[in-house]
Amino acid sequence: MRFRPKALVRVLGGTVLVAALAASPGMAQGGGGTAVVDPVQGLQFGQLVPGMTLRVGPEEVGQRGELHVEGTGQYQVQFLLPEALVSLEGRTIPLVFGATDGILVRGTAGTAQVFDPRFGIGLSLTGGVRDARIFLGGTVEPAPGQASGMYLANITVLVARN
């Protein structure tokens, strides 16, 4: 099931934005133990040229988004993905996510598991593995006449115990 960002915005109003600016970790009881989601790094597209699409892959260390999840048990990870970056003036740049824009790594030496962030992924923190890293990429599509300026959007990751 895919989350619908527009629906979320309607429900949460300004709460999402405030939470994003604070970039605070979420924490809740996860049955088998306490789990924590910590933002590590935002998804950074850097300097864009109008009319030139740019993709940041989840394997690009300096630019990919990154979160750290710690806990014990079986979880489902879902993303609330924005459809555009937005400037302070309300201008937008389409932001799209594809089938290989997510990478999940369990533990410190786990195998990278590519996934589609539009559909989420199951996360098993069992068998001595207590944490995981989630990497996120994406693609921005500035228009040929895109106005200059700073654009941003909030990405929310939800981790729920199965």
Partner 1 sequence: MRKLAIMTLVAGAALALPASAFAQAGNITATATVNSVFIDGAFQNLVFDAVNPGTAASVNVVTGAGGTPGFVEFSYNANYRVTATALPATLASGAATVGVAWECGTSAGTGTNPAASAACTQGATVASSDAVAGMGTVVVWLGGTIADTNVLAGTYTGNITFTIAAF
Residues between 95 and 124 that touch partner 1 (CB under 8 A): 95
Q: What element of type H or E holds 21?
A: helix 15-22
Task: CB nearer to partner 1: give 19 or 129.
Answer: 19
Task: CB nearer to partner 1: give 12 or 129.
Answer: 12
Report if residue 42 touches partner 1, rule: CB under 8 A: yes
Distance CA 161, CA 149 (A): 40
Question: 57, 101 in Cβ contact below 8 A?
Answer: yes
Least distance in Å: CB of 110 to partner 1?
19
Q: Which structure tokens are listed for 80?
A: 């609330």
Site for partner 1 in 124-153 (CB under 8 A): 136, 138, 140, 142-153
Q: Which structure tokens are listed for 29?
A: 């009881």
CB-based contacts of 74, cutoff 8 Å, min separation 6: 122, 123, 124, 125, 126, 161, 162
Q: Which of 36, 96, 114, 129 binds partner 1 (CB under 8 A)?
A: 36
Site for partner 1 in 61-90 (CB under 8 A): 65-67, 69, 76, 78, 80, 82, 85, 89
Report if residue 39 touches partner 1, rule: CB under 8 A: yes
Distance CA 151, CA 97 (A): 17
Least distance in Å: CB of 113 to partner 1?
18
